[in-house]
Amino acid sequence: MTERPPAFRGFRWPAEWEPHAATWLAWPHNPETWPGRLEAATGEFTAIVRALQGRERVRILVADEAAEEGARRRLAAHGVEVDAGLEFHRVPTNDAWIRDYGPWFFVPRDGGRRAVVDFRYDAWGGKYPPWDLDDAVPSRVAGAMDVERVEAGFVLEGGAVDGNGCGSVLTTESCLLHPNRGPGRSRETMERRLEAWLGATQVLWLAGGIEGDDTDGHVDDVARFVGATTVIAAVEEDPADPNFAPLAENLRRLRAMRDPAGKPLSVLPLPMPPAQRAPGLRCPASYANFYLANGVALVPVFGVKSDATALSVLREALPDREVVGVPCANLVVGLGAVHCLTQQEPA
């Protein structure tokens, strides 16, 4: 279906910075995602858990009892108290990128219970089969949480859109209009879908994503809302870098955009890190791939000088949150970082 069902019209998609009940994660386990670096990437993943612990509940998907026991041992070895605010759910996955395939939690506008929207997932246009286990995660989670699940019937990944909780949605043409996600993805069609399912009253179209991003240009690597009318925008200062032109175009568009009241958006430039590479590829490293949890912003860092500058920009933009750098030099070899690995459950 492409129209929001009547029973679902009383729900709202909250902004990421609104209070959370929990964060959902999926334990990394696919060696093809991190060739030769799965152990190192998992070590960095534990830093996400450690930073969230004590701020909100952390719910981690694992394949089975043995996988849970292994995760518990690994977390404990990295200083995580595995019996304090952590839950393990035995839900098998193909990979760890729960932002893109996980449940989208919506909250009722007038009280009552939350609901889960289940968008279809096809591993970014069929790039990485199989993806059947990932596509089934929203249904499994809704069942475990005993909440209503509503099937949307079309492909939409969590990293492809960013919302301010009151109707404005950021996205990119390169991803949302790509025909590999299904036929008929015109601007008009996708705007209708975002209106029906996300409550979008305004869709803000950027051009595309960054070099090395196998998602066809997810917006969570290039621009993010940090307030109702404030957007963080990734910028590349080196004119010789392949990211310079597309990020400059995104910045130009953002500075020309207006909020629903006709006022310009507040746009805060965020520097890009220097190119991060693995054998045969450039990794999609971006400080914009941060995650906003209760009282904290978890920001990917890469062990380079620009880390300090990026953290400073985000501390100024987010004065009411602790801004914590999460090492991602190995995680990003899997072509994602902190935001890609997390999915919020609003309070």
Q: Assess if residue 1 is contained within a domain.
A: no
Q: What confidence tens digit (pLDDT) does each residue in 221-258 have?
A: 999 999 999 999 999 999 999 999 999 999 999 999 99
CB contact set of 116 (below 8 Å; sequence gap of 6+):
103, 104, 105, 106, 138, 141, 142, 145, 147, 148, 149, 150
Give the percent of the chain with pLDDT over 70.
98
Q: Assess if residue 274 is contained within a domain.
A: yes
Q: Assess if residue 337 is contained within a domain.
A: yes
Q: What confidence tens digit (pLDDT) does each residue in 81-139 have?
A: 999 999 999 999 999 999 999 999 999 988 778 899 999 999 999 999 999 999 999 99
- The answer to whether 158 touches 192, Cβ cutoff 8 Å, is no
7: pLDDT strictly greater than 60: no
CA 194-219-323 angle, 5° bins = 115
Q: Assess if residue 88 is contained within a domain.
A: yes
Mean pLDDT of the chain: 95
The predicted pLDDT at position 298 comes to 98
The predicted pLDDT at position 93 comes to 98
CB contact set of 311 (below 8 Å; sequence gap of 6+):
299, 301, 323, 325
Q: What is the CATH number of the domain that holds 174?
A: 3.75.10.10
Residues with catalytic roles: 340
Q: Assess if residue 186 is contained within a domain.
A: yes
Q: Assess if residue 271 is contained within a domain.
A: yes
What is the residue type of 246?
P
| Residue 72 banded pLDDT, cuts 50, 70, 90 | very high
* Domains: count for the chain: 1
- The answer to whether 150 touches 5, Cβ cutoff 8 Å, is yes
The predicted pLDDT at position 5 comes to 63
Both structure tokens of 193: 């879908």
Q: Assess if residue 17 is contained within a domain.
A: yes
The predicted pLDDT at position 8 comes to 62
Tell me how far CA of residue 68 lies from CA of 26, 28, 79, 188, 279, in angstroms: 11, 12, 17, 44, 31
Please state the rounded mean pLDDT for residues 259-270.
95
Domain span at residue 161 reads 6-346
Give the percent of the chain with pLDDT over 90.
93
What is the residue type of 53?
Q
DSSP 213-258: -TTS--GGGTEEEEETTEEEEEE---TTSTTHHHHHHHHHHHHH-B
